[in-house]
């Protein structure tokens, strides 16, 4: 994939998507489009369309951001040490385009022990129309 320039990203993304995904911003808790969504489907990168997460791995962590216990494909995300803002965290980025997605923590459900805390602005849900909506 050809990497876009900052001007191209600004043209193709909403201001909020650009702030979150290209400038490593964070949405305010409980404000993101997908925070409470329970629709079945696949979550893609809002920047490049890469498959990132499945609704089957989404759960309500109470954190204020969409949370998943695992990516749909391990190779679709990259994890990077993040020591900004005086904290030690692990940043999650899209492997294909480098978009900032959120962070992963070791306090998730027993199935994986992981909580991928992801900004809605970094996601685009493709609803599975073969499944009943909640």
Structure confidence by residue, pLDDT tens digits, 48-62: 999 999 999 999 999
Structural domain span for residue 111: 6-27+35-127
pLDDT of residue 134: 66
70 is a domain residue: yes
93 is a domain residue: yes
Question: Does residue 82 surpass a pLDDT of 90?
Answer: no
The residue behind tokens 């993040």 is 82
92 - beta bridge partners? 79, 102
pLDDT of residue 1: 61
Q: Which run of H or E residues covers position 118?
A: strand 115-118
The count of domains in the chain is 1
Q: Quick check: is 117 catalytic?
A: yes
Among 45, 94, 97, 117, which one carries the catalytic annotation? 117
Dihedral (CA of 98, 103, 108, 112) sign = positive
């Amino acid at each position: 994939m050809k990497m876009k320039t900052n001007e191209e990203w600004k043209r193709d993304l909403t201001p909020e998507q650009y702030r979150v995904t290209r400038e490593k911003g964070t949405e305010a808790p409980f404000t993101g489009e997908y925070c409470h969504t329970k629709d079945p489907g696949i979550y893609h990168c809002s920047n490049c369309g890469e498959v990132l997460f499945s609704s089957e791995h989404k759960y309500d962590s109470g954190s204020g951001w969409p949370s998943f216990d695992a990516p749909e494909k391990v190779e679709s995300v990259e994890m990077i040490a993040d020591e900004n803002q005086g904290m030690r965290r692990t940043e999650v980025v899209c492997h294909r385009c480098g978009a900032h997605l959120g962070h992963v923590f070791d306090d998730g459900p027993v199935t994986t022990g992981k909580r991928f805390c992801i900004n809605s602005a970094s996601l685009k849900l493709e609803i599975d129309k073969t499944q009943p909506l909640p």
